[in-house]
Structure 1
Amino acid sequence: MQHLGGVLIAAAGLFCLPLPVAAQEVPESAVPKTAPRYFPPTLRAALGAPLPAVIGNESLPGVIPAKGSDRNPSGVAGFISDEGVARTIGAKEHPFFKSLGANGRSCGTCHQPSQAMSVSVADIKTRFRRFGVRDPIFAPVDGANCPTLVPASETRPSRFYGGRRGRGSNSDSARARSLLLNFGLFRIFMPVRTAADFTIKVTHDPYGCNTPGNPHASASDGNDGANGTGGSVPIFSMYRRPLMSANLAFKTETLGGGPSGNIMWDGREPNLFSQALNATLGHAQRDNRPTSEGGQGSLTVDSAEIRKIVAYEVGFFTAQQVDNRARALDDGAKGGVVHLRENMIPASKVVPPPPPTPSRPFDEFDAWSTPNGARFALAQRLSIQRGQALFNGTAPDRRGRFAARDVPGFSDVVPPFIAADATCANCHSILHGGSNSFPASQSNIGVSGDFQGRGGARLRKDLPIFTITCESKPAFHPSNVIETNDPGRAMISGRCADIGKSSVPSLRNLASRAPFFRDGSARTLADVVDFYNQRFGIGLTRQEKTDLTNFLAAL
């Protein structure tokens, strides 16, 4: 195949992407040479899913300004875009908001500026009421619990890999998308890495998407040619919230300056370029068949558009600007998006304090230990400052510290004296951003059911339950047989030790993007605080819970 003066990406013979890349715009090290291991069968599964029968317009304003604000339940959030004004419709529409696939989706479909570049359940429900399934967010490929549940009248067949119309049995539009409408969960589907040290079996499958025989429970193994075997690989469906695609300047480097490996929940993408490329091909079902580039059966993506998408993400900053009771969060303090943008420090430039001194990722509200302002705001400002101290581990009498026991990816990584005297800041350690500063730092906090009975969440019956049998008993589990709603990082690594692990998310502008956790199980920030208080036996008082909740809402 001709090399078009750029980079040629190939994966298992499925697709070739000629990507002419200007070195001054995207360094050579940032451009993926091959698709991540999980991706080829995942793409085949995506392109085999039915398309929407009718595609409506995106629910976005025509122009996203360079600086603006949006209301949310806790007050007002602000944003700044280093890329400037972005049009979402018309000839000059920005690639981030441009439909790049066959199902009408753009990056902005699920990463809305008004919702911290993620999407809230409240907005999803509003979009369903206003636009129904015409809104691209409800595309059958992953906006439904399973594409086979979508009524056939709402689908049209894909042109690839035996794309099928939905069967529509015992379902309707809303019921087929109950996880998206109620928890903001999208279907994530992928194979298990080969040569895994465990076997996986689906023992509870409420939507049938993991059941053998369902067309979405397997994908071609890539041997579809004249001499191919025509085999398939199992595809497992899980359900996860979209992470925010903002403040990513805080997440793309780690201590030491290397790639973070924390961009996705399971760390499956090496960098933002790869993530944007693969999301365009998969979530948006990019189905163009070029005639002049790549040959028959290839998929091309304009690398200039991908670079612009990445630039927009890295240059977009968002934070809570006004609290309903504390009022302006930069009044005598350093809250708000302007201070966030000014304080952006790559993790590679940060020198952490030596142990056992904890890092203090947030100092935004230090000045509010003796706050100014109107009387009605003083109590809330004091509460926010106390919550920050609890989070950082600097509260009086060491309040808020806890023993982080049974946390794979943390308890077995940090020195024992840190695990025995942990703070929220130990994991949410990136200054002012709140994600993790160490590379590939996925951990299992117990939200997926595999730590029920030990402070963790119960197994959910509205999600699949996977029974995983490990070759040997992993740390922190009582046996080598583990039940979980989401295998997490283990799907990518093939390691039993990674079951349930996920990346540490950013913490800014939380008030705009409920619900929380990977599975959307915490509907409010108070639920998040309650979970950690129970999981680790922190012993927070009612006032301390309120203080922590107020602080998180003020970020």
Structure 2
Amino acid sequence: MTLIRFRPLLAAAALLVLAAAQKAPPPRWWSPGEGRSFPATLDYANEHGTQRSLLVGGPMPTKGHPFFEPIGPNGRACVTCHQPADGMSLSAATARQRWDETRGRDPLFAASDGSNCPSLPQSEKASHSLLLERGLIRIQRPWPVREWQGKPVTPDFTIDVVRDPNGCNSGEKYGPKAGNVSVYRRPRPVSNFKYLLAVGFAYDPKQGIALPRDPDSGAMQSGNLMADNRARNLREQMEDASSTHLEFAKHLTPAQIDRITDFEMRLYTAQQVSKQGGALDSGGATGGPAKLRDSEPGALGSIGTPVWSEYAAWEKISSEDAAKLTPEQLAFRQSVARGARTFRDKTFLITDSSGINSPVGFGNPVRNSCVFCHNMAQMGNDVAPGQVDLGTTTLPYADPFDDLPLFRITCLKAPHPFYGRTFYTYDPGFALTTGRCADAGKITLQSMRGLAARAPYFSNGLAKDLRAVVDYYERRYNISYTEREKQDLVNLMSVL
């Protein structure tokens, strides 16, 4: 009798547990091979609100899919370093959490590039400090550069290792004397590729030369795929990643490349909800990934759709709409709208930046605003192909790092246009692809969508948060932002 009496209560409790489970957020970490389905709409909370990924044609089973399966020997998959909860990149906070949960045994921490150097004791947390503290993956490039765009190259500069705190730029196996250079960079997001592959010019306006061509299609190359532009299309990017980060012995098959390309080209990621401002597609605003999915890459912000015009409606909120908001929500929305205007309209002198101020560029100095380089409508990446040097990796502008290798670059022909014959850098950047001293320090601009989910920022994790991004530009170009303008810009970036 007692058991019969309690059965309804047990059933009700089971239903409550089931309902709670159905409402629970999806697990943040995607392990290779777990077979989870990728839904049409996938939301994850972050420090600034909620990020959303939209998969056109989803949901998609991931069992057997080459982006999600550990088909290499080290147990990794593409998803290991391109996590949906981190804007299809990898945040340092996620890396730390994964270390704690697995005691450093996750394939993410593979000795080849998930540690500061394979020669270090891999069980020690300190051996993975660059990944854990700044979200950096080791990238090993051949030295000297052998070819650029399929043609042989003789570098016009030398590299000397001034400091090697991690042991991966000196010795018999690692470093210029061993035929390679190790640099450390953030994983780039693999989403919103409709925009990242778009080309706005028939030539490279930063160098005054014709654009490289896609080796497969013959189409002009956007140059926005990798930090040093070493891959000309998605196939080359995948083959580079599979042979290094996944340690494949063989190339991906054409069928596998097609499946990964199909997934990446259907994926759109952006912030969807702000903790302070509410839904980003409300009150006349059109924030969120649906705008990216439904729009086409825009022209230069100065002559086409204004960059971040998604939030123009928040600049002048009607009294009727304001009455529906808390004072905090109203103030935040107005701040975002002001940030978008500051981003577009506040000009400053851009100086000594290769790819911008070079002799074939736009003059030195040139007066413009943030939109000069972050100019593609709906996206904020550079519609004008080509790499630029903002000083984030090169002295005297980069912050002093004691955990990164420091290289001395010596130009053998013409001196660098701004640094002279000899200078120092933590990452030669694009020069490791072209072999040209004038390209040292140049890095492909980061995508601006999904910033809230993937701190830290810049290619080497120089900025720990969004405020540090603004502060760096303030120091670098003496912009003289007011405190309100700085916060407005932070709030804008938090909703992208």
Q: Given the two structures, how large is their TM-score scaled by the length of structure 2?
A: 0.83
Distance 1:180-1:60 versus aligned 2 partners, 3 A rule: farther
1:271 CA drift (Å) = 0.4
Match of 1:487 among 413, 428, 433: 428
Q: Which amino acid is the alignment partner of residue 402 of structure 2?
A: K
Match of 1:474 among 416, 421, 424: 416
| CA–CA separation in structure 1 for the residues paired with 2:199 and 2:235 | 17
| CA–CA separation in structure 1 for the residues paired with 2:37 and 2:97 | 20
Residues 149-207 of structure 1: per-residue CA shift (max 9 Å, x gap): 034xxxxxxxxxxxxxxxxxxxx421110100000001001123141000111110001
Match of 2:339 among 380, 387, 393: 387
What residue is the counterpart of 2:209 in the other structure? none
Structure 1 residue 203 corresponds to structure 2 residue 177: no
1:365 CA drift (Å) = 0.2
What residue is the counterpart of 1:407 in the other structure? 353
What residue is the counterpart of 1:309 in the other structure? 260
1:61 CA drift (Å) = 7.9
Q: Which amino acid is the alignment partner of residue 362 of structure 1?
A: W
What residue is the counterpart of 2:102 in the other structure? 131
What residue is the counterpart of 1:368 in the other structure? 314
| CA–CA separation in structure 2 for the residues paired with 1:182 and 1:58 | 23
Residues 293-314 of structure 1: per-residue CA shift (max 9 Å, x gap): xxxxxx2432111111111112
What residue is the counterpart of 2:239 in the other structure? 277
Task: Structure 1: give runs of 5+ residues left out of the alignment.
Answer: 1-55, 152-171, 219-231, 288-298, 394-399
Structure 1 residue 503 corresponds to structure 2 residue 448: no
1:391-470 correspondence to structure 2 within 5 Å: 391-393=343-345, 400-412=346-358, 413-416=360-363, 420-439=366-385, 441-450=386-395, 452=396, 456-470=397-411
Structure 1 residue 112 corresponds to structure 2 residue 112: no
1:145-224 correspondence to structure 2 within 5 Å: 145-151=116-122, 172-192=123-143, 193-194=145-146, 195-213=154-172, 215-217=173-175
Distance 1:368-1:325 versus aligned 2 partners, 3 A rule: same
Match of 1:75 among 40, 44, 49: 49
1:323-342 correspondence to structure 2 within 5 Å: 323-331=274-282, 332-342=284-294
1:131 CA drift (Å) = 1.1
Q: Does the CA-based 8 Å contact 1:390-1:548 persist in structure 2?
A: yes
Distance 1:263-1:65 versus aligned 2 partners, 3 A rule: same
Q: Does the CA-based 8 Å contact 2:111-2:118 persist in structure 1?
A: yes
1:457 CA drift (Å) = 2.1
Structure 1 residue 535 corresponds to structure 2 residue 473: no
Residues 400-423 of structure 1: per-residue CA shift (max 9 Å, x gap): 211000110011254339x53211
| CA–CA separation in structure 2 for the residues paired with 1:474 and 1:121 | 34
| CA–CA separation in structure 2 for the residues paired with 1:101 and 1:546 | 44
What residue is the counterpart of 1:223 in the other structure? none
| CA–CA separation in structure 2 for the residues paired with 1:95 and 1:352 | 36
1:353 CA drift (Å) = 7.1
Q: Which amino acid is the alignment partner of residue 126 of structure 1?
A: Q
Q: Does the CA-based 8 Å contact 2:391-2:441 persist in structure 1?
A: yes
| CA–CA separation in structure 2 for the residues paired with 1:212 and 1:173 | 21
| CA–CA separation in structure 2 for the residues paired with 1:360 and 1:407 | 24
Distance 1:491-1:469 versus aligned 2 partners, 3 A rule: same
Task: Structure 2: give runs of 5+ residues left out of the alignment.
Answer: 1-29, 147-153, 203-218
Q: Does the CA-based 8 Å contact 1:58-1:135 persist in structure 2?
A: no
| CA–CA separation in structure 1 for the residues paired with 2:34 and 2:423 | 43
1:534 CA drift (Å) = 1.1
| CA–CA separation in structure 2 for the residues paired with 1:272 and 1:126 | 30
| CA–CA separation in structure 1 for the residues paired with 2:472 and 2:33 | 33
| CA–CA separation in structure 2 for the residues paired with 1:57 and 1:323 | 28
Q: Does the CA-based 8 Å contact 1:269-1:275 persist in structure 2?
A: yes
| CA–CA separation in structure 1 for the residues paired with 2:304 and 2:167 | 46
SS at the partner of 2:183?
Answer: strand
Q: Which amino acid is the alignment partner of residue 519 of structure 1?
A: N
Q: Does the CA-based 8 Å contact 2:299-2:376 persist in structure 1?
A: no
- Identity of counterpart residues, as a percentage? 36
SS at the partner of 2:128?
Answer: helix
Residues 434-469 of structure 1: per-residue CA shift (max 9 Å, x gap): 111122x1010011132x2xxx22332210000011
Match of 1:524 among 458, 462, 465: 465
Distance 1:115-1:507 versus aligned 2 partners, 3 A rule: same
Q: Which amino acid is the alignment partner of residue 308 of structure 1?
A: R
Distance 1:310-1:187 versus aligned 2 partners, 3 A rule: same
Q: Which amino acid is the alignment partner of residue 416 of structure 1?
A: G
Please report the RMSD computed on the Cα atoms of aligned residues, expressed in angstroms: 2.0
Q: Does the CA-based 8 Å contact 2:299-2:305 persist in structure 1?
A: no
| CA–CA separation in structure 1 for the residues paired with 2:191 and 2:138 | 22
SS at the partner of 1:374?
Answer: coil
Q: Does the CA-based 8 Å contact 1:449-1:460 persist in structure 2?
A: no
Distance 1:78-1:406 versus aligned 2 partners, 3 A rule: same
SS at the partner of 1:468?
Answer: strand
SS at the partner of 1:467?
Answer: strand
Match of 2:193 among 234, 248, 253: 248
Distance 1:60-1:246 versus aligned 2 partners, 3 A rule: farther
Q: Does the CA-based 8 Å contact 2:81-2:89 persist in structure 1?
A: yes
Q: Does the CA-based 8 Å contact 1:86-1:94 persist in structure 2?
A: no
1:57 CA drift (Å) = 4.9
What residue is the counterpart of 2:205 in the other structure? none
Stretches (4+) displaced over 6 A: none
Q: Does the CA-based 8 Å contact 1:435-1:504 persist in structure 2?
A: yes
What residue is the counterpart of 2:271 in the other structure? 320
| CA–CA separation in structure 2 for the residues paired with 1:547 and 1:353 | 19
| CA–CA separation in structure 1 for the residues paired with 2:342 and 2:390 | 19
Residues 33-52 of structure 1: per-residue CA shift (max 9 Å, x gap): xxxxxxxxxxxxxxxxxxxx
Match of 1:96 among 67, 88, 92: 67
| CA–CA separation in structure 2 for the residues paired with 1:57 and 1:545 | 38
Distance 1:411-1:207 versus aligned 2 partners, 3 A rule: same
Deviates more, 1:371-380 or 1:177-186: 371-380
SS at the partner of 1:144?
Answer: coil
| CA–CA separation in structure 2 for the residues paired with 1:465 and 1:364 | 41
Q: Which amino acid is the alignment partner of residue 262 of structure 2?
A: A
Q: Which amino acid is the alignment partner of residue 103 of structure 2?
A: G
